[in-house]
Amino acid sequence: MKFTTRAIHAGQEADQTTGATILPIHPSSTFTQEEIGKFKGYEYSRTGNPTRKALETCLASLENGKYCRAFASGMAAISSVLSLLVPGDHVIATEDLYGGSYRIFEWYRGRYKINFTYVNGNDPENFAQAITSATKLVWIETPSNPLTQIVDIAAVAAICRDHSALLVADNTFASPYLQQPLALGAQIVIHSTTKYINGHSDVVGGAVITNDSEIQKTLGYYQNMAGAVPSPFDCWLTLRGLKTLGIRMERHQENARRIASFLRPHPFVETVHYPGLPDHPQHDLAKRQMSGFGGMVSFQIRGGREEANIFFKSLQVFSFAESLGAVESLACYPAVMTHAAIPKEKREARGITDGTIRLSVGIEDWEDLINDLATALKSAQINN
């Protein structure tokens, strides 16, 4: 079956006892057992829950994976993958990545003697240069947060294979609708389901998908042990959001394409980062490994914090807020918000300056979005 059919039906058959067409929310924390060791597949909701199971089945299907574990946040999903590491292991990560991922990596470096090397993800050769016999994981974000850099998943997967390292792809920006890293050779896909997968800014969640039964087993052990599981209601809301992922992504990227084209020649805009622009350095690669360019656009204004602040305060349709991937448009200031955990010199060296603005383009009418940006840019420019 094709993508949207699976998004609507996978893991969500009619309820066997009542015939309810829509999956019930199972809030029960516990499940009555028939006798010692005999029960209907569920014992206790930290370990497993039917509504969570439906979400996990659907997400595994959409990533073309065998297994999925859902978590209470994207960060909890990331923590579960880091539980595969032991002291002395080495991890290579893309240097453009979510500030919270950087924060937890640095925590692991300090506390657990795990070494991290950050590389520019633009060129697979950078991964080949950094890889050692101690490298256990290679962690990529593609498109990356916030500068939308693209990593060649298949090329990096081949390097990982040669060195027995696991390739982990954070697929949050693309969503499984536009990119499926397992098919390109990654062993693990993670998501902040808070973003496009849920799509309505009303749930925080995460997920890990894999085809490897050993990894699945360890993640399941960790999920039950650490207990950062999503509530049944959050799983249900996420499944509801997921049904429209395909049509939302089409609209997100159509609006993003128009906005990137509007920003590109604007006199107060220095650079625009959007993989759909023909002059994006990895436009051709994005075209090859993705089926669309997504809804995230970032840009540098010809100004700094003061001008950026005027821009944000002038917005009427875009909300000035963290997060991304929902139906409403959001504008964010990475230097102080999503990427504040990265020290200033490192952040600026990686291209996130006081003039960097990130847009999560929603599904509103594009004319209203462009008018909003035009007005806010004008206000910021006058002040410059």
- Residue numbers of the site for ligand P1T (CB under 6 A)? 73-75, 98, 100-101, 141, 145, 170, 172, 192, 194, 204, 206, 322-324, 332, 338
CB nearer ligand P1T, residue 148 or residue 381: 148
Question: CA-CA distance, 28 to 232, in Å (whole number)?
Answer: 9
Q: Within 30-169, where are the H helices?
A: 50-62, 74-82, 99-112, 124-130, 153-162
Instruction: Report in angstroms how near the CB of residue 145 gets to ligand P1T at its nearest.
Output: 5
Q: Which is nearer to ligand P1T, 8 or 106 (CB)?
A: 106
Angstrom distances, CA of residue 340 to CA of 9, 99, 333, 367? 40, 7, 10, 32
Using CB atoms within 10 Å of the CB of residue 152, give its burial: 0 to 12 exposed, 13 to 18 middle, 19+ buried: buried
Measured from each CB, the residue nearest to ligand P1T is 74
Catalytic residues: 46, 98, 170, 195
Cα(341)–Cα(347) distance, integer angstroms: 9
CA distance 201 to 238: 10
Torsion sign over Cα 110, 115, 118, 121: negative
Between 101 and 149, CB nearer to ligand P1T: 101
Phi-psi region of 93 (alpha: psi -120 to 50; beta: other; left: phi over 0): beta
Distance CA 220, CA 55 (A): 15
- By beta-carbon proximity to ligand P1T, the closer residue of 154 and 341 is 341
